[in-house]
Amino acid sequence: MTIARFTHVSPGQYAEAMGERAADAMRVEEIPLPKRATAGSAGYDFVAPAETVVPAGGSALIPTGIRAEMENGWVLMLFPRSSLGFRHGIRLSNTAGIIDSDYAFAKNEGHIMVKLRNPSEKDVVIGKGERFCQGVFLPYGTTEETGGFATRDGGFGSTGK
């Protein structure tokens, strides 16, 4: 069952998110769209578009250049790749990333950005083109609601009140 598709954000959105790292990064159209490694894989692997250092005891934000359009009733959950967690203790700053179905239409074009945290005492380098996180699409249910929903207009935390 096909419920989603990955596309690239615009070159302008990508350049804005990359900032000063843009010169050393892949061009947005060169970034491979996330894909599963095997037919039995649940996770779609995302690659780092530029070398990223996650400092010891610190964090780093990786703009992926990717957006996900999906049907309502589905969510894309992001997790670090197992190898980064097992070898270095790397984790997402918010534990698991939640990409809602309406995020693709936010002002930032639904640009998926991943913030990694490094609790270790050594810097961890994620190489340009290295697979660093994976996304899994999951269905979700809702309760009986009567409305009063916020309209998504921004990126991270944009529906907070």
Q: Is 96 helix (H, G, I), strand (E, B) or coil?
A: coil
Along the 161 residues of the chain, how does pLDDT read in single tens digits? 899 999 999 999 999 999 999 999 999 999 999 999 999 999 999 999 999 999 999 999 999 999 999 999 999 999 999 888 888 899 999 889 999 999 999 999 999 999 999 999 999 999 999 999 999 999 999 899 877 777 766 655 544 44
- Cβ atoms of residues 12 and 65 within 8 Å: no
**Token code pair at residue 66:** 């990717």
**Token code pair at residue 100:** 């809602």
Quick one: 4-139 is in which CATH superfamily?
Deoxyuridine triphosphatase (dUTPase) (2.70.40.10)
- Cβ atoms of residues 115 and 30 within 8 Å: no
- Cβ atoms of residues 80 and 89 within 8 Å: no
